[in-house]
Amino acid sequence: MKLHEYQSKQILSKYGVPIPAGRVAATAAEAKQIAEELGGRVVIKSQVLVGGRGKAGGVRLARSAREVEELAAEILGMEIKGLPVRKVLVDEAANIETEIYLGITNDRSARKPVMMASAAGGVDIEDVARETPEKIVKVHIDPLLGLRDYQARDLAAGIDLPRNHWRSFGQIASALWQAYLNCDATLVEINPLVITAEGRLLAVDGKMIIDDNALFRHSDLAEMRDLDIEADAEIEARKYGLSYIKLDGAIGCMVNGAGLAMTTMDIIKLFGGEPANFLDIGGGASADKVKAALRIILADPNVKSVLLNVFGGITRGDEVARGILSALSEVKTSVPMVVRLVGTKAEEGRQILADANLITAESLVDAARKAIAAAHGA
């Protein structure tokens, strides 16, 4: 499980890593308020679970509170590598002189954690690793002994860190190791760890990945999971022009039209059920869209029945029915399907579906009741 930068930095800070003052915001107005509280120059940083935000324009320095609002609004409207930005971190800006890389991960072939440091930290660290790997210094950590002081000094010397920073560097390296160990992380990374103009070491960025298999013993970390971002299905849905929002219920919904989709969810709830999702397949339910929508709905293990509510105006019911059957022939499932179909040639459509052993309904109330019953295995 990946943690956001602001979460990672908060954890690292508890272990003694110096981080800039700052807070996370979900709106531009909130970002502005945080900037005013901080005073001075701030940096606005998109919180998305991918690297390379800086290069994508997701990390911006602001000079005034007014600029904070503009930039935050801009960043909050962005998508970075397909992920929507829903939060920004507003941090006191650092006066950066040098950018260092410092991280720990598992070296599987050495069967030990490895701590890595480089004087060439910052946004191009991947290029450094590929083109000039000698600029990355490594020490392997014996898990029983932990990180030894001399190892941290070896790293400091290896990256030609000025002597006056060694003490602070040692503390940061040790904090990083403790965080890695205690959180059952598979990666802990500060990139960049900067030397500021004021002569301090400061973790400007932070990244942590927690071993999913260890989450059972870290309920505090498990709670940090970003459900928003983890919903891959929403990204998949967007590819097919479907609007899909995952919810927690057992009844999958596939509806043509956003308003009708909302109504369908309301009716399901009215009769005591819980929708598993919101899904609008838009007008003209083509077999391809129905197929994609079915795949997405059925990928949710909570789904115990699916309610297809198609209100055909000009769209012909028999064509919709054939579309559904063609989709079902490819997306095999044992989850019961309830189809409510009205509009042109709806009779014919329902007949085709009934012949194929699908549950059909004429009214939405009838459909909702049948879908709820089917979800309960009735």
- Footprint of Mn ion (CB under 5 A): 191, 205
Could you give the CA distance from residue 84 to residue 131 in angstroms, rounded to a whole number?
32
Please report, as a single letter, which amino acid is at residue 243: S
What value, to the nearest 5°, has the Cα angle with vertex 145 and ends 135 and 105? Answer: 40
Q: Is 180 a catalytic residue?
A: no
Exactly one of 53, 165, 291, 345 binds ligand GDP (CB under 6 A); that residue is 53
Burial of 192 from C-beta contacts in 10 A (0-12 / 13-18 / 19+): buried
Q: Which residues touch 205 (CB under 8 Å, ≥6 apart)?
A: 5, 9, 190, 191, 192
Q: Which of 43, 201, 306, 375 binds ligand GDP (CB under 6 A)?
A: 43
**Is 101 a residue of the active site?**
yes
Taking CB positions, which residue lies at the least distance from Mn ion? 205
**185 touches which of Mn ion, ligand GDP, none (CB within 5 to 8 A by kind)?**
none
Q: Running DSSP on this structure, what letter comes out for residue 275?
A: B
Q: Under the criterion CB under 6 A, does residue 96 sit at the interface with ligand GDP? A: yes
The answer to the question of residue 62 lying near ligand GDP (CB under 6 A) is no
**Contact residue for ligand GDP among 11, 85, 190, 204 (CB under 6 A):** 204
80 touching ligand GDP, by CB under 6 A: no
Q: 29: Cβ–Cβ under 8 A, 6 or more apart, which residues?
A: 69
Q: Cβ(268)–Cβ(262) under 8 Å? A: no
- Of 227, 291, 297, 237, nearest to 264 by C-alpha is 297
Closest to ligand GDP by CB, 59 or 71: 59
With CB under 5 to 8 Å by kind, the binding choice for 52 among ligand GDP, Mn ion, none is ligand GDP
Least Å from the CB of residue 120 to Mn ion? 13
CB nearest ligand GDP: which residue?
54
Among 59, 71, 76, 321, the residue binding ligand GDP under the rule CB under 6 A is 59
- Least distance to ligand GDP, CB of residue 47, Å: 10
Point out the catalytic residue in the list 189, 240, 244, 319: 189
Residue ranges with strand state E in the chain? 22-25, 42-46, 59-62, 79-80, 83-84, 88-92, 96-107, 112-118, 136-140, 185-196, 201-203, 207-210, 243-246, 251-255, 277-280, 305-311, 337-342, 359-361
The one catalytic residue among 5, 6, 30, 101: 101
- Interface positions with ligand GDP (CB under 6 A): 43, 45, 51-54, 59, 61, 93-94, 96, 99, 122-123, 191-192, 204-205
Q: Catalytic residue positions?
A: 101, 189
